[in-house]
């Protein structure tokens, strides 16, 4: 995945007062840590940060931070939003070394729905996992994991084994072959299938009662009672 670049500047002031002053000037307090180095306090552009956060996948993208001309390769690990104004208040960045392996959440995308016989029949794609947590080299983080629905019919279950993972990546799960999605029957069909056994069960006693009421073949009907 391509590495985006954000402008940043070193900061010396710490504490709530300094942080508020930065935010008034259009900057967000942040810190770079990890890779066996001392934490580096920085500030990043509020507008650039919010654009990256709301673009999606912020916590799974490797970013190059240009701190006063010095480049730092990092990945966002956490950010805090104001609970009322929904504005970024602070961002934590983890340094990414040459051989760093990361745990990240990656979205699962489903393609070729028009090539699925089950969906063409009105079936419903029931997604069990919209994202998967990968343990993956920093240089191999995918934008998304892809599931091809070509040929999938009603009743089919799509497992983890149907997804091609990047080299060196693994999914963090205890299940042998995780269920990702299923192609379920449409609700109308499920209702008809559920009603069929009940209708058959109700029809059986009625048929038996009809047979009991009818006179046996060759039998003489009972004479009417005398008044």
pLDDT digits (tens, 9 = 90+) for 94-119: 999 878 899 999 999 999 999 999 99
Q: What is the pLDDT of residue 224?
A: 54
Pinpoint the alpha helices (H) of the chain. 16-24, 46-54, 117-120, 187-213
The neighbour count for residue 26, using CB atoms within 10 Å, is 11
pLDDT tens, residue by residue, 168-205? 999 998 888 999 999 999 875 555 555 555 556 555 55
Q: What is the pLDDT of residue 194?
A: 52
Q: Which of 97, 119, 102 is closest to 110 using CA atoms?
A: 119
DSSP code at position 96: -
pLDDT tens, residue by residue, 135-160? 999 989 999 999 999 999 999 999 99
133/130 Cα distance (integer angstroms): 10
61/2 Cα distance (integer angstroms): 8
Sheet with 124-127, edge to edge strand ranges: 124-127, 179-184, 157-159
Q: Which of 109, 99, 44 is closest to 76 using CA atoms?
A: 44
Average pLDDT, the chain: 85
Percent of the chain with pLDDT over 70: 81
User: Which residue has better confidence, 193 or 164?
Assistant: 164
Provide the β-strand partners of residue 153. Answer: none
161/179 Cα distance (integer angstroms): 9
Asked whether the predicted pLDDT for residue 73 surpasses 90, the reply is yes
What's the pTM value of the predicted model, to 2 decimals?
0.70
Length of the chain (residues): 227
Q: What is the pLDDT of residue 99?
A: 80
User: Which residue has better confidence, 209 or 130?
Assistant: 130
Provide the β-strand partners of residue 127. Answer: 181
pLDDT tens, residue by residue, 32-43? 999 888 999 999
CA of 172: how far to CAs of 36, 106, 135, 175, 179, in Å? 25, 12, 7, 9, 13
What would the mean pLDDT of 17-22 be, rounded to a whole number?
88
- All structural domains of the chain, each given as residue ranges with its CATH number in brackets, are 4-97 (2.40.240.10), 102-187 (2.170.120.20)
Q: What is the pLDDT of residue 9?
A: 93
């Amino acid at each position: 995945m391509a590495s985006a670049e954000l402008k940043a500047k070193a900061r010396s002031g710490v504490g709530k007062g300094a942080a508020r002053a930065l935010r008034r000037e259009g900057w967000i307090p942040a810190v770079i840590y990890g890779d066996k180095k001392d934490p580096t306090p920085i500030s990043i552009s509020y507008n650039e940060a919010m654009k990256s956060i709301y673009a999606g996948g912020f916590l799974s993208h490797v970013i190059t931070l240009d701190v006063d001309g010095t480049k730092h390769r990092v990945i966002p690990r956490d950010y805090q939003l104001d609970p009322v104004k929904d504005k970024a208040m602070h961002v934590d960045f983890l340094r990414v070394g040459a051989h760093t392996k990361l745990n990240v959440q990656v979205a699962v995308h489903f393609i070729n729905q028009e090539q699925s016989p089950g969906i063409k029949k009105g079936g419903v794609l029931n997604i069990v996992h919209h994202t998967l947590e990968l343990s993956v080299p920093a240089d191999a983080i995918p934008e998304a994991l892809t599931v091809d629905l070509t040929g999938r019919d009603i009743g089919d279950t799509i497992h983890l084994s149907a997804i091609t993972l990047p080299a060196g990546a693994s999914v963090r799960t205890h299940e042998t072959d995780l269920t990702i999605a299923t192609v379920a029957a449409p609700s109308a069909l499920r209702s008809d299938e559920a009603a069929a056994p009940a209708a058959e069960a109700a029809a059986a006693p009625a048929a038996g009662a009809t047979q009991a009421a009818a006179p046996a073949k060759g039998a003489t009907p009972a004479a009417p009672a005398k008044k």
